[in-house]
Amino acid sequence: MGAVSETMDARPDLSQRFRCIAARKRDDDPWVDTAAQLVVWSDLYDRTARASSAGLRPVIGVDLDLTSLLAPEKSVETVSNLVASLDDLASQIAESDRGAIDCLKEIWCQTAPALLPGYTTTAIEAYSLYIAAQIQNRASVNFSSESLALVEHWINQKIFAILRGGYWSRDLSKDHVSPGIQNWASRIHAAGGEIAFMSNRDPSTRDVTVGKLKSMIDDPSQLFAFFGPGGPDFDASSKAAAARAIEAGTPAGVYFATTPNGQPQFPLPSESYIGAGVLVAIIDDRDENRNAVIDAAQHSASQLAQAGLGGVMDIASAAIGFCPEIAAIEAPAIVSSYEIRDAHAG
């Protein structure tokens, strides 16, 4: 049945829990509520300040796509393409289950839209399960498991072809900065921390991306960012390499590395090194990326432990308005935006 079924078979309990949560989501409500998000950010500010007070150089690693930069228009365009192709799906479903098509139209064409799909393979797989759960929750009858599996497979394959294939051909200057991140960055800096933007975006995207990143911080001269060689095979490895470079020590600046054969090339030039950084947290939408960074940041984990601060914080991004990957529900901490509100503020 393809990638969706493989994911479900490999981790059936996790997928089922994700389905149950996904079925309860209405419209474009954030995946994480205000109170839960406040706990995560308060913990991060506290650890950053304590690390700084302990004489460390605290650094927060932040992913770009689906974490600090969002491209909702591309996902909306993809959903519009799915709606236009529903007759193709209807022809494949048993006549008794074609009410599922009406449910899809309701989900995708309502005034308050459902959560949008992300562009990564894992986010697309999760989105197909999310939509199938929404169908069952909204329908007055139970559709057959065969028809729902077909819907999941169809959505997965269609989005992969449309969104994954065309994501990097969009106008990157139209990326949206995640809500609240400018104020969030100011609070990190006030706590004595630095922000390292980590991305596998290739060097050709550097200028337009740097323009967006400069809008996120008060002092653009403090921009601290790493770019990878690009390509799906290097996402986790390029970020792990960036973590090792941070630990080795590097000042603010924009760095990217690629060799003629497309391999990531780290560490950074030795003349760039100053004080060694300690990675306090990694914020990323992909479980694989966060794991790779945390595995690479062993020196940071040791330094934090010695200071009584635990290990590197693992913070999953479930960006506001988007369906997160399935593994996000197992993350030790999860956030939907950078907006900080007191729990009583509503």
Q: Tokens at residue 10, please?
A: 């490999």
pLDDT at residue number 55? 95
pLDDT at residue number 204? 83
pLDDT at residue number 5? 38
What's the distance, CA 191 to chain centroid?
24
Quote the pTM value.
Answer: 0.89
Output the CA torsion sign for 41, 244, 186, 325.
Answer: negative
Longest dimension (CA), the chain: 69
pLDDT at residue number 225? 87
pLDDT at residue number 4? 36
What is the residue whose two structure tokens read 């990878």? 228
Out of 1.20.200.10, 3.40.1740.10, 3.40.50.1000, 3.30.56.10, which CATH number does the structure's domain 31-71+171-345 have?
3.40.50.1000
Q: Which residues in the chain land under pLDDT 50? A: 1-10, 258-264, 266-273, 343-346
Query: Checking phi first, is residue 227 left (phi over 0); if not, alpha (psi -120 to 50) or beta?
Result: beta
Residue pLDDT, tens place only, 111-164 = 667 899 999 999 999 999 999 999 988 877 788 989 999 999 999 999 999 998
Residue 335 φ then ψ, to 5°: -135, 155
What's the distance, CA 81 to chain centroid?
23
pLDDT at residue number 341? 64
DSSP H or E segment with residue 194: strand 194-199
Domain residue ranges in the chain: 31-71+171-345, 72-169
What are the residue ranges of helices labelled H in the chain? 3-10, 12-24, 34-53, 72-84, 86-90, 99-109, 121-138, 145-159, 165-166, 181-190, 206-214, 235-248, 287-296, 298-306
What is the residue whose two structure tokens read 């007191």? 342
Helices (H) and strands (E) in the chain, counts: 14, 9
Question: What CA–CA distances, in Å, run from 4 to 107, 123, 125, 134, 295?
Answer: 20, 11, 5, 16, 27
pLDDT at residue number 333? 96
pLDDT at residue number 229? 79
DSSP label of 177:
E
pLDDT at residue number 269? 45
Scored b (16 or more CB within 10 A) or e, 54-78 reads eebbbbbbbbbbbbbbbbbebbeeb
